[in-house]
Amino acid sequence: MKKVIKCSIIKFFILLSILLGSSEIYAQYGYGGGGGGYGYGRGRGGYGNGRQRNTIPQAQEAPKAPEPKTAEQLVDGEMPSISKALELNDFEQAVLSSVLKKYVQERIEAQILQLPPEKMREVYDKITKKQDEELKAGLPLDKYEAFVALQEEGVAKTLKKKKKKEKRKKRKN
C-alpha cells in the first residue's frame, strides 16, 4: 500500500511540475516554438510570434531640460539670415556679429539677475543704447538704418519684401 501511495504522490508532483512549467513557458514565449505555420519559412525570424523583448535598457531618470543657448550660439544661428537680408560683406558681417554677441551676452546676464520689471527695462534700454552707438560707429549709415528697420519689422518680413522687390525687377526686365 505504501508503494502505491509513494508512486501516486510522485506522479502527482511530476504532473504538477509539467503543468506549471508549460504555463510558464507559454507566458514567456507566447505561441510556443513557432511550429504550425507561425514562423518557419515565412520571413518572420524563425522563432514564432511570441512576445518580443526590448534589449534597450529603460531610462531610470527623467531626461534633462536642454541647456539654454549661449550668446554666441544665438547670434551665429541668426547671422546668415540677417546678412542675407541686409546684404552685408564679410567685414560688416564680422562687425555686426561681434557687437551682437557682446550685447546679447549682457542681456542674458541681466535676465539671470531677475530684476524687477522697471529696473529690467532700464537695464535693457542702456544696453540697447550702447549697442546702437557701437553699430553706428562700425557700420555704414545705410546698413545701420537697414539693421534698425530689420529689428523693428523682423527678419522674415524683411526677406519677404526683398523677394517681392526682386520679382518686380525681373518682371520689368
Task: Give the model confidence (pLDDT) of 113-161 as tens digits.
Answer: 888 989 999 999 999 999 999 999 998 999 888 888 888 887 667 667 7
pLDDT at 87: 85
Taking residues 11-39, what's their average pLDDT?
63
Q: Is residue 101 scored above 50 in pLDDT? A: yes
Higher pLDDT, 163 or 70: 70
pLDDT at 58: 66
Taking residues 51-59, what's their average pLDDT?
65
Higher pLDDT, 108 or 24: 108
Higher pLDDT, 77 or 16: 77
Print burial letters for 131-149: b (CB count within 10 Å at least 16), e (below 16). bbebbeebbeeebbebbee
Every domain of the chain and the residues it spans: 1-31, 71-164
Task: Report the first-to-last Cα separation within the chain, whole angstroms.
Answer: 116
- Tell me the backbone φ, ψ of residue 96, rounded to 5 degrees: -60, -45
Integer Cα distance of 42 and 86 in angstroms: 62
pLDDT at 83: 86
88 burial via Cβ count (<10 Å: 0-12, 13-18, 19+)? buried
Q: Is residue 78 scored above 60 in pLDDT? A: yes
Q: Is residue 112 scored above 70 in pLDDT? A: yes
What does each C-alpha distance from 9 to 21, 81, 102 come to in angstroms? 18, 85, 87
Q: What is the DSSP string of 28-78?
A: HHTT-SSTTTTSTTTTSTTS-S-PPPP-SPPPSSPPPPPPPPPHHHHHHHH
pLDDT at 129: 93
pLDDT at 122: 93
Give me the chain's average pLDDT, please: 77
Integer Cα distance of 106 and 103 in angstroms: 5
Q: Could you give the angle at which helices 71-86 and 90-113 cross, rounded to 10 degrees?
A: 140
pLDDT at 39: 47
